[in-house]
Each structure stands twice: as C-alpha cells, then as structure tokens.
Structure 1
Amino acid sequence: MSKASVGTKRLLLGRPFRSDTLGDTHLPKRIALPVFASDALSSVAYAPEEIFLVLSVAGLASLAFAPWVGLAVAVVMVVVIASYRQNVHAYPSGGGDYEVATVNLGPNAGLAVGAALLIDYVLTVAVSISAAAANIGSAIPFVNTHKVLFAVGAIVLVTAVNLRGIRESGAAFAIPVYTFMASMAVLVVWGLFQVDVLGRDLQAESANFDLVSTHGGAVTGLALAFVVAKSFASGSAALTGVEAIHNGVPAFRKPRSRNAATTLLLLGVIAVTFLLGLIALAVQLGVRVAEDPARQLVGAPADYHQKTMIAQLAEPVFAGFPIAFYVVMTVTAVILVLAANTAFNGFPMLGSVLARDNYLPRQLATRGDRLAFSNGIVLLAVAAIALVVVFEARVTVLIQLYIVGVFVAFTLSQLGMIRHWTRHLADEKVPAVRRRMLRSRVINVIGFVLTASVLVIVIITKLFAGAYIAVLAMTAVFVVMKLIHRHYATVARELEDSTWEVVLPSRTHCVVLVSKLHLPTLRALSYARATRPDTIEALTVSIDTAETRALVREWESSRISVPLKVVESPYREINRPVVDYVKRLRERSPRDVVIVYIPEYVVGHWWEHLLHNQSALRLKSRLLYERGVMVTSVPWQLSSSDGRAEKVGDEPIVGRWAGPEAE
C-alpha cells in the first residue's frame, strides 16, 4: 500500500488500535443506548405512520382502530423486551438468538435464525435510511426528488463512521439520538397539553380531507379484519432492533448482562411511550395518510404532496415557532439514518460468530485496524445500497419485506429459551432458584405465543405483498451457509488426515521462465541457483521466430551456463506450453519437485497493475493446480514502487552474470 493510500486510510479511519486495548472500547449504558437501541427508538418515526397508512385502505372509519393496533404492538414489545432480559443473562457471549436456537434447538434452527437476522439487518439499514429520506424530503423538496442519491450517501457516511470503531461511532451518535428523544418528548407532551389542557383546536394539514378506501366502497367483515391485521404487522416494525442488544452484550462494560438488561428496559419504556403518544396525538390532530393520496384524499389540492406523519404533527404543534418544526424534522431524519447503526453493530457481530462457526467466510471474524469487524460492515453497506437502488428508497415497498426475519428469530429464540429453562429445572433443587427459573420460563412461553402469532399474521398479510422476497433471500443465505460449512469441514478433514506420511522428494528441478534477457530474468536465475537445485534450466515460449532467435543468440553470447529450452507455440499461447512442459517433467520423474520461478514487476501505481504481470498471474493460477509443482515469484521493484532501481548490495545484479567466471 502506497504512502498516499495509507495516509488517506488514517485520515478516514484514524490510527489503528492495539489488540490489547479492546477492553477500552466497551460501552457504558449511556453510550450503549444510542448505539444499540437507535433502530427500535427511531421506528416510532415510521411505525405509527405505517399503521395509519395500511388502515387507510379501508377508508376513514378504519382509522378508529389505530389506537388499538398501537396498543397491541406495545403489548408485544413489552413482552418481547421482558423475554430478552432473560436471554441476555442466560447467553451473554454475543451469539444472541443464533446461539440460543443452536444450543437448544439444534444447528439447523440456529442457522435459520442467523440467516433471518442477516437479511433483516440489511433491511433495517435500507428501511431506516429510506424513511430518513422521506422525512427530510417533507421539509426539503430537493431531497424528495433525489431520495435514492440521499440514501446511498447516508449509508456511505454511516459506514465510514462505523469503520472508525464502535466506541467512536457510539460517541458520535449519542448526541443526535438523545436530541431526537428530547424532540419527540416535547412534540408529544406539548401537543397533547395544548389539545387536552389548553383546549386549542390543533389540526393537521390533512385533517379536513375525506379519506376513501382504495376500492371506493366500504370495507367490512373479513376484508376489514385482514386490513387491521396487516396494519398490526406493519406497526410491529417498532420491535426491530431489540435483538441487537442481545447480540451486542460483549460490547457492554462489565457487568455486561446487567447493563444490557438495563438498556433493554430503558429502550422498552421510551419506545412504548413514544409509539402510543404519537398515535394519540395523530388521532387528536386528525392526521390522514394514504397509500394513493391522489385517489383517496378527497378535497386535497391538485398539487398536494403528502408529508410524513411526523411532519403533519410538528407543523401545527409548533405553529408559532417554525424553527422547532425544522429541528424535529432534522433530528428525525438524522435518527433514522443513525438507526442503521444498530444493524451496523449487530450484523458484523453476528457475522463474526457465524464465521467462527465456519458458516460464513472467515474474513468476517477478523477485526480491522480500529477493532471493528470491518469486512462485515462493508458487506452490510453494499447489500443495503443494492436494496435501496433496486426499490428506489420507497419505504412502503421495502417495509413489506421487513419484519419476517426478525420475528422468525424472536419465535425460535423464545422456543429455545423455554427448552433452556426446562432442561435446567430438571437438575435444579434450590427452591428460590427454581422459582426464578419458573418465572423466566413463563415469560418466555408468553413471548413465544405472542411472537409466533405475530409471525403467522405477518406471513399471511405480507407474503404476497413482497415478503416472499425476504423468505427466498433467507432460504438462499441458509443454503449458502450450509455449503460454506461443508466446504470448511471437507478442508479440515483433508488437512488433518493422520494417515498421510511425509515423503521427501528425490530431486528438485528448477525452471526459470524467460521472456527477455534483462535484470528481472537474471535475478530469477540468481535466486534459483541460490537454492542449490539438482537441475536448473531456463524456459522460453516461442511465439515469434525472429525474437526467439535473437534471444537464443544473446543467451549464448552471455556465457550463462544455465541451458535455455525453447518451447514452440504455433498458436501463440504462453500458458499451455509451459504447463504441458512442466507436466512432462513430472511424468518422467513423479518423485521430483518442480519449482517454477516467475519474474514479476513490483509497481507503485494502481494503473501500472493493468500494464504488467497479467500473464504471470494467469500462469500461476494454472500451475498451482499441478501436484508436485511449486511456484515462486521473484520480484523486481520498478522505480515507481520506491523511487529507485533495486540493487543487490552495491552492485547491479547483472554483474553476477556478465563476467567470464559465470558457470
């Protein structure tokens, strides 16, 4: 890596951390809350809106169900958080739901959870960033017309911050997250205070519009029940991010489990309060949001642009103080961008655990310069950008793919915890401990029933609306991880075969590849002779008769004692004649080792790689598959690599071959 690229890397990421400073990056609760809970907290910016949006399909009368749907979502959230407080104490190693399912339900169940969470983390980033674009687009029209560009830029920014390390990213995100919490609290409290205490008639800009169903007529019976169930499924997006705290327990300061459980409790209280408060305020102010505003909102102006629910609430609440409106919209957009940070912490951590268990490439298990799982962070960013571009940063479309994965994980995790407590109860004799275990098992049983019910509702209501894409993606990831695990297992068996006996080669035969008689060739010959092989020869491929004859004449006049073999190539190929020649050497003496020396240029600029070494790379890739053949690259540093021509000692290497004493 050049000095310029190293300097750029240090500027963007900061100085590298020593491995023994990993403990210094652990998070206190005040930093862990914005790092791991920003997703669940920020979902209150779009989960209530999704409830109203889905209900709008059935017309204005269906909005009466909104508070009840919100209450149902809040109940599920309370139960899930109570359940996960059991999980963080029982399994604090960072495997999260994957570890719970694997230990108690088997590897396939654990792998299903891992695949579901990986997909859901990618969707978390795509949905959160797209929602941020929609919210800031309500205040800035330019962003509304360039949502995809804004979303991609935001993902790149969050990625860069996370590559600097978990503690530094947490400190950077703490202020915006706490500012968002304060803004939501002021919005809800001040809005409800004006309406309920001061008796002011606050109305959203859409309050006077009539809302008709997408079909134009009344929706009743089973159709209405389906719409309500679907709105509940969409509103359940508020629960995403809860599992990230369980996955991130190792990142907390000691005592880790207790700090993680406390953070979960804080998350639950804040998220439930904001969710119910915003829904109550939206009902009071008569907010109308529609899937198809042009058709459903009767009485709206022809050029009406539907704003987000947060924008429609903030405008009348802060009517006399417009700067507050822009503050709310700005911090809402920022928190939605930062909500992706939960996934940027959860995805790499889970990926490292899966890689450690040989289900993902092992590169995902290694930490980068800043002690973050850099490869996992970059992989998540690339996948999320692809989703944003493909679905054009549309929240309503992306959210249909959402939630399935996280509720698969919730359900299997709760079932695993039930088996965990049942297994331990069979061996526990202390009455006080048994009572605690029984209470924990009851909590997990309730959690299993609720999350399984929500999963069924989500699948029924969203499968054909787009959730099938997420299901197919989970299945594909599951299969790929199984294949990766099989590959690693096969390699391990091959490398640990105790029946293999070490047999030394009878002779070594060196072949130095020659294209011209220049310094890189002479260096390769020098290094080959230094290994003292049994036999050594130079090899060139003749693709131009005149050039080959000139090379042979120059070789003979140089008095180099190493014989030069010429291999004819009537079809002007280079790789195949060399490979065939090496194969013939091996066939004549199967116990010999053939060492092929290939001179290569070391260049200093990226564009120089396109101009040099391509033939060498292709030839090496062919020779590496031949048994009993070793390939040795002999570097020749060009001046661009370090500013000077390479020499051996104080004498140019050509001097070793120019004198009469050469053998």
Structure 2
Amino acid sequence: MYSSIKRLLIGRPLKSHELGEQKLSKLKALAILSSDALSSVAYGTEQILIVLATIGTAAFWYNIPIAVGVLFLLLALTLSYRQIIFSYPQGGGAYLVSKENLGVNPGLIAGGSLLVDYILTVAVSISSGTDAITSAFPVLHPYSVEIAIFLVIFITILNLRGLTESASVLAYPVYIFVFAIILLIIVGVYRVATGQISPNLHPHLGTPVAGISLFLLLRAFSSGCSALTGVEAISNAIPNFKDPAPKNAATTLAMMGGILAVLFSGITFLSYWYGIGPKATETVVSQIASHTFGRNYVYYFIQAVTAIILVLAANTGFSAFPQLAYNLARDKYMPRMFTMRGDRLGYSNGIIFLSIASILLIIGFKARTEHLIPLYAVGVFIPFTLSQTGMIIKWIKQKPNGWMLKLIINLVGALISFLVFAIIFVTKFHQVWFVVIFLPAVVYLFHTINKHYKAVSEQLRCSHPVLEKINGNVFIVPVAGITTVVERSINYAKSLTDEVIAVYVAFDREDEKRMEQKWAELNNGVRLVTLHSSYRSIIYPLCKFLETIQSKVAESGYVVTVLVPQFIPKKRWHNILHNQSALLIRTRLLWSKDIVVATLPYHFKK
C-alpha cells in the first residue's frame, strides 16, 4: 500500500542514466530558480513602507530614492554573481567561493547561512502566499498556519517528483505572474499619465519630514533589500543547467535581474503615487490592484497569481537547499544521506529535511511574514558579503585580464552587502540576536561531523591479515568497497570455508569497472561478482543473486551464509551520519528461507 501511494504521489522511479533528461533549459530554470527573487516584489516595497510608516505618511516619498538604492545593489549583485558563475561553473556559489578564497570557516559560515536562508525562503514564501490568500478572503485569516502547512506539503510532493517536472509546473504560474504585474503596472501608469489618479494622494518629492534620520532611512533601505533574496540561487545550481551550463546560467541570471528591476520599480512607483501605506490585513499589491481595477475579476486574477507565485517561490529553496547540502556532504561536513539521489533522481533527503524544518518555523512564527523576514535577510546578506569578498581576494591573487573592473564590481557589492547586514543586525538585534549563537554552533557541528568522517576514513584503511582456512559453508559477503572492514570480513569467511564470493552492487558501469580493477589488484583469491542496479537499489539485485546461488547449491547440501560487514560507531548519534545499508540487508534477508545471515561487527575507537 505504501509503495502504491508513493508511486501515485511521486511517480515511477527513474534510471540513473536518465539524469541528463533532468537538466533545465533557460526558460525552465528562470521559473524554478528565479521565482523567489521575482516574487519578492510582492513584499519588498511593503517592507520599506513599514519602516517609513513609523514616522508618518509624509515620509512615504522616501520610498522612491530608497528603491533606486535597492536597484543599484541589484545591478552590483547581478554583475558579481555573473562573474562567480563563470569562475566556478561547477556550482557551489558563496560556499565554494568563500571556502576557496577565504578559508574553511568562512566557507562554512556562508554555507550554514545559506542553508538557514533556504529554510527561511520556504517559510517566508509560503507565509507571504498565505497572506495574499487571506487578503482576498479575510474569513480565512484565522487559519493561516494550517493553510501554510498544507502548501508546504504540496510543494514538497511536487519537488519529490523531480526537477524537470516541478519546473514544468512552475513555468506557467511564474510567467503568468510576470504578465499580471506588468499589466498592473502598465494600466496603473496609464491612469497616472492621463490624470485619472489625483496627484494629491501622495506627499511630493522633497517634502520636509519631521523626525526623519539617516539611521531610519538606512533601516528602510535594508528592509527593502529583502527584494534581493534569491539572487544567488542560480550560481548554486549551475550543474542543473543544460550545456553550455555557465553560459545558460549567466543568461538566466541577466533575465531575472532585468525582470525583477522592472517589476520592483513599477510596484514602488504606483504605491507612492497612490499614497498607499502598509496594512495588517491587506498587502500593498492588493491595495494597488484594488485602486487600479477595483474589486473585479482582474483584481482577483492578480491576487490569485500573486498567491500562487509566492507559494511556488518556495521552490527556489527546494531547488538550492538539496544541492548545497550535497556539496557540504560531499566535503564531509554534513551527513552522507544528503548525497543520495531518490527514485526521481533528486536529493530527496534534502527536500524532506527542508520541508520539516520550514513547517516548524511556520508553526513557531505563526506564519507571520514580518517576523520571518529579518532572519531571512540576515541569512542571505552574510553569504552575499563573504562571496563578494572572496572574489576580491581571487582577483587580487590571480590578476586576470580586466581584473580591476571585476574587482571594483565585487568591492561595491561587498561594501553594500555588509552595510545592509550591519544595519539589519543593529536595528533588529532583538529579532536576530541568536544568529550570533546559532552560526558558530552550526560551524562547530560541521567540524564535528567532518572530524568523525576523518576518523572513520583513518580506521578503514586496508590491512591484510592472514588467517587459517577452515572448510565450511558457501559464504556470500556484500562489499561496498575495499576497506579494513571488508578485508576482515573476507578473511573471516575464508577461515570457515574455501567457498567465498564477494558481491558488489554498482550503480553505473564506470564504478563497476573501477571496483573490478581494484579487486584484481588486491589478489586475495576470492571471486568478485559485480551486480548492476539501474534503480540504485542494493537489496533487490542482491536478493536475486542469492536466489540463484541457493538454487544451485541446495541439492549438494551446502548452506548459503550471508556475512554482512558492519562497523559500530563509538557514539550512538554517529549512526545518523552513515547509510544503514547493513541493517537494511539484514532486515530483508531475515525473511528469506534457507539463508543464514551473519554480522561481523567492527567497532570504531574514536
């Protein structure tokens, strides 16, 4: 029943060689990787107005120069991340740039910040989408948390179905949203140009405002920079693009930057001209649409697509988080389970972990967008600053052609990003203070995990003890590579019988050839049988092989014994850092008749 439900929700398993079919075109990549940045126009302007409203409506004209500053930062970040794409075409973004140029700890800080940021991306996007729904239907406002949780589960299932499939679903809402907002901007600007909107609704540019200060303006600017979240996602996911991947990624980044600039500028201008201020129960975009079209079908169309794009903007987090978790796990700073692809060739463990974490955040903050955005912005501007600084160091060291211009671009991006981070941190310290504790704790956890994996690697280095042979059963030894544990298991089996067969399950042909070559070089007198698994399953091909062996030796009175090598970590919590393949094999084979299952434990000392 579980399998049937899983197939219904997620779809049939994909073979490993079908991975190439999961690569993204520019238009699909724009939908799946830029939805977060594009959707931020629904709340970016509003965050500026929330700060200015503390002074009064007369201060709303500052929205215009602040928006110009945000656009300037957008340009600097777009040019800078374009350079990162061509410099690091293997992906990894801020984590890889910081780690290579600034050191391991800055890289881990950038990586940890981005992991948290992508969790917040999901929480903020879903919460903002819920706000749009409850703005149109106020009767649903008390059920905001329940609606948000349902939407997270929906988007999780969509992503578990695979990258290409989720991109195909996302493409339509993203481009419909862009069309709807451009329509709103065109009609709104037309009404302004033809005098249909009174010029007395807003304060005039340059109007003196009592109580205004540079500190408050900088605070409003930093809040408006929430519209820039998601800009870095494309640089993290370059391997997901079709070839030539760097060129396609850079083009997609430029498209995203241009569209975001147009949408943000239009919404900011209309909110100023209409004299719109923030409301607790209605978003700024909803107010603009209501003033422009009235509460008719066009208004509800704009609200509907805004709600949809805000919900589906969470897909940027679902696309970037698993890839970043994979990069950290590959470098042994996160559990290896994040390196494993699921049935649909996505990093399913990363997707599920992200879903659970975002739901906990939504429940904890009661789906209130304004409470989540300060954390969101801090999470993204730390890696912004580190990645720009890392690129500055790279240009100074390497000095390629035109490096001075590249350095200036990164320098401007680094300075503004650091300024925004500092302002957010100082002005909203009561909301983000635990970042000071949380980030060092995350870096410490990364190092603890890495220390464990290094200890494991040290203890798995091969040795070749020779034990006395004792005749016995037909021993089948599943092996995952050539390690101390495997060597010890083979020697133990040889001590009991001459009939020992090692079995290796390969997921691709190159891996199969490499293992066969290494085994031949080992020359331990034991036959190696390699089984190919198209669906990345160890259990099924192993069971089929055992059935074949069992049928051949049953008449001669031999007993098939499966000796499962297993290492035992010194600390119990270390178990979550390893794939429990031995447990899965034993659990499955215990149900097989006439097969003896034995475990040879290997205890780690550190």
> Could you say whether these structures have the same fold, taking a TM-score greater than 0.5 normalized by the shorter chain as the test?
yes
Q: Quote the residue 2:5 is aligned against.
A: 8
Q: 8 Å contact 2:332–2:453 — kept in the other structure?
A: yes
2:449 is aligned to: 484
* Within-5 A mapping of 1:122-521: 122-196=119-193, 198-201=194-197, 220=211, 224-289=213-278, 306-319=281-294, 322-425=296-399, 434-435=401-402, 437-464=403-430, 466-496=431-461, 502=465, 504=467
Any idea what SS the aligned residue of 2:357 has? helix
How many residue pairs get aligned? The number is: 494
Give distance in 2, aligned partners of 1:175 and 1:403.
28
2:49 is equivalent to residue 60 of structure 1: no
Alpha carbons 2:185, 2:267 under 8 Å: kept: yes
Partner of 1:403: helix, strand, or coil? helix
In the alignment, residue 175 of structure 2 is paired with which amino acid?
Y
Question: Residues 21 and 283 from structure 1, CA distance in 2 versus in 1: closer, same or farther, beyond 3 angstroms?
Answer: same
Separation in 2 of the partners of 1:370 and 1:227? 49
Secondary structure class of the residue paired with 1:504: coil
Query: What CA distance in whole angstroms lies between the structure 2 residues aligned with 1:462 and 1:173?
Result: 34
2:374/2:424 contact within 8 Å kept: no
**Cα 1:281/1:622, change in 2 over 3 Å:** closer
Structure 1 gaps of 5+ residues are: 210-217, 294-305, 429-433, 511-529, 535-620, 654-663
TM-superposed deviation, 1:509: 13
Does the C-alpha gap of structure 1 residues 624 and 145 become closer, same or farther in structure 2, counting only changes over 3 Å? closer
TM-score, structure 1 normalization: 0.70
Matched to 2:253, the amino acid is: L
Whether the aligned pair in 2 keeps the contact of 1:96 and 1:246 (CA below 8 Å) is: yes
Quick check: 1:95–1:350 contact (8 Å CA) kept in 2? yes
Amino acid at match of 2:282: K
- 1:624–1:631 CA contact under 8 A, matched in 2: no
Normalising by structure 2, report the TM-score.
0.76
Alignment check: 8 A CA contact 2:385 2:417 kept: yes
Q: 2:69 aligned to 49, 59, 72, which one? A: 72
Q: Distance in 1 between matches of 2:458 and 2:186?
A: 64
**8 Å CA contact retained: 1:136, 1:330:** yes
- Deviation, structure 1 residue 441: 2.1
TM-superposed deviation, 1:59: 1.5
Shift of 1:226: 2.6
Could you say what secondary structure the match of 2:434 adopts? Answer: helix
Give CA-to-partner distance per residue, 1:457-491, whole Å, 9 cap, x none.
22222222x12234433332222111101111111
- Aligned partner of residue 70 in structure 1, secondary structure: helix
Question: Do the aligned partners of residues 631 and 406 (structure 1) sit closer, same or farther apart at CA in structure 2, a change above 3 Å counting?
Answer: closer
Q: Residue 271 of structure 1: SS of its match in structure 2?
A: helix
CA contact 2:468–2:495 (8 Å) conserved in 1: no
Cα gap change, 1:624/1:271 in structure 2, threshold over 3 Å: closer, same or farther?
Answer: closer
Task: Tell me how far 1:261 sits from its aligned partner.
Answer: 0.8
Q: What is the identity, as a one-letter code, of the residue corresponding to 2:291?
A: P
> 4+ residue runs of structure 1 moved beyond 6 angstroms?
505-510, 530-534, 621-625, 630-638
Which stretch has the larger CA shift, 472-481 or 368-377?
A: 472-481
Q: Using a 3 Å threshold, how does the CA distance of structure 1 residues 467 and 631 change in structure 2: closer, same or farther?
A: closer
Q: What percentage of residue pairs aligned between the two structures are identical?
A: 38
Deviation at 1:61, TM superposition (A): 2.0
Displacement of 1:142: 3.4
How many Å separate the matches in 1 of 2:373 and 2:175?
A: 25
Q: CA deviation at 1:28?
A: 0.7
Counterpart of 2:96 (choices 95, 99, 104) is 99
Distance 1:254 1:14 in 2: 27
2:36 to 39, 52, 72: 39
Looking at structure 2, the residues matched to 493 and 623 of structure 1 have their Cα atoms a distance apart, in angstroms, of: 15
Q: Distance in 1 between matches of 2:434 and 2:171?
A: 34
8 Å CA contact 2:470–2:494 kept in 1: the answer is no
